[in-house]
């Protein structure tokens, strides 16, 4: 299960990567589960933290961004599918501090290809019951 902290609560979230959104790398609360943050931190511990970067190139700007976000989603889903019983994945990147945004580069000469990357890695923590 994928979770994220919002204030004093942890909520289950779903992936919402959308190249048309202001925040392309997004997570949406799905309402399935929530925990008080203090209780969660008292009963769970972070086992490890992973950082993910993605990159894609295409001659069409939106296509490059879509492929990059799709690659990132595959990486997140691989972590989720490899969880052991009781483990949770938490979005550790903080909004306004180290949250990843998409950036593109386009050479001024030669190739007319857009290359999309993340400016900061997406940080995910693997949590397990104590």
Domain boundaries, the chain: 2-129
Low-confidence ranges of the chain (pLDDT < 50): none
- Which pLDDT value is given to residue 13? 97
Tell me the C-alpha distance between 95 and 97, whole Å.
Answer: 6
Coil, strand or helix: which one is 94?
coil
Which token pair is 8? Answer: 């004093």
Closest to 65 in 3D by CA, of 99, 104, 31 = 104
What pTM did the predictor assign?
0.89
- Give the pLDDT of residue 21: 84
């Amino acid at each position: 299960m994928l979770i994220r902290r919002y204030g004093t609560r942890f909520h289950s979230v779903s992936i919402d990567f959308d190249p048309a959104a202001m925040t392309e790398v997004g997570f949406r609360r799905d309402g399935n589960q929530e925990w008080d943050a203090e209780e969660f931190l008292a009963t769970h511990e972070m086992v490890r933290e992973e950082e993910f970067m993605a990159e894609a190139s295409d001659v069409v700007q939106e296509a490059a961004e879509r492929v990059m976000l799709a690659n990132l989603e595959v990486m997140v889903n691989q972590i989720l599918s490899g969880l052991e019983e009781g483990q949770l994945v938490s979005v550790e990147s903080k909004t306004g501090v180290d949250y990843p945004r998409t950036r593109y580069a386009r050479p001024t000469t030669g190739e007319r290809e857009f290359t999309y990357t993340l400016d900061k890695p997406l940080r995910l923590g693997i949590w397990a019951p104590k």
